[in-house]
A and B are shown apart, each in its own frame.
Chain A
Amino acid sequence: NAGVTQTPKFRILKIGQSMTLQCTQDMNHNYMYWYRQDPGMGLKLIYYSVGAGITDKGEVPNGYNVSRSTTEDFPLRLELAAPSQTSVYFCASNGQGNNEQFFGPGTRLTVL
């Protein structure tokens, strides 16, 4: 199993551009999450999903959108990039009744 994979690893965007961060897991997990990590702030939940077709906002959803059309994929969309979205983004997943969240390697995004 590859676990949780994320693409791209790095990206530089200009203000106002849009992009999609990809996340795929091959563990047949129902639950998937997007976090952002900023220095000294820990991880903040952006959006999460409890299964295909079901998504919900986390703690910091503004400026982001998600979709969950399949169990495996949970892309995160930035429509109008802003410097405040410069961060490291992590995708994670866990199965029903499984307490451990498995994390991807992250995407480092810079908005200039």
Chain B
Amino acid sequence: AQSVTQLGSHVSVSEGALVLLRCNYSSSVPPYLFWYVQYPNQGLQLLLKYTTGATLVKGINGFEAEFKKSETSFHLTKPSAHMSDAAEYFCAVRNFGNEKLTFGTGTRLTIIP
């Protein structure tokens, strides 16, 4: 069974600093990869996804992620954190031909003014 590991359940960064949220997956073949964001008391919203093609993927709100097959990673970055980025972020994977998602345990991002 595939699994998703998000290193760091809580990450704090200063406003304007780089955001780096880590995601590693285990899968025998390159899967589809997703990052979702959850704001307090809301559902999940898609930030970005990788399916095929370019390995550097740009999403909403200035976030991007790079699929690295050799490292089985899909880390999420943003060059300059904003207060509105405070939320919980989930990495998820889906294998080709299977609609089900497997989620990581999430990383709560806090922005320090």
The listed residue (B41, B45, B100) touching A103 by CB distance below 8 A is B45
The listed residue (A40, A58, A106) touching B105 by CB distance below 8 A is A40
What residues on B are CB-neighbors of A31 within 8 Å?
Answer: 99
Cβ contacts A to B, 26 pairs, < 8 Å: A31-B99, A33-B100, A33-B101, A35-B103, A40-B9, A42-B90, A42-B105, A43-B44, A43-B101, A44-B103, A45-B101, A48-B99, A90-B43, A90-B44, A94-B99, A99-B32, A99-B34, A99-B49, A100-B34, A100-B49, A101-B46, A103-B43, A103-B44, A105-B43, A106-B41, A106-B42
Q: Give the contacts of A1-49 with B (CB-CB under 8 A).
A: 4, 31, 33, 35, 40-45, 48
What residues on A are CB-neighbors of B72 within 8 Å?
Answer: none
A-B contact count (CB 8 A): 49
Interface string of B68-87 (1 = CB under 8 A from A): 00000000000000000000
**Which has the most chain A C-beta neighbours within 10 Å: B32, B49, B103?**
B103
What residues on A are CB-neighbors of B41 within 8 Å?
Answer: 106
> What's the Cα separation between A5 and B44 when bound, in Å?
13
Sorting the interface of chain B by its residue count into under 10, 10 to 19, 20 to 34 or 35 or more gives: 20 to 34
Q: Say whether A99 contacts B94, CB under 8 Å.
A: yes
Interface string of A75-112 (1 = CB under 8 A from B): 00000000000000010101000011101111000000
Q: Say whether A99 contacts B42, CB under 8 Å.
A: no
Name the residue of chain A whose CB is nearest to the CB of B50.
A99
A interface secondary structure, majority? strand
Q: Taking the nearest CB of chain A, how far is it from the CB of B91, in angstroms?
A: 9
A50 within 8 A of B: yes
> What's the Cα separation between A94 and B49 when bound, in Å?
14
Q: Taking the nearest CB of chain B, how far is it from the CB of A19, in angstroms?
A: 20
What residues on B are CB-neighbors of A48 within 8 Å?
Answer: 99-100
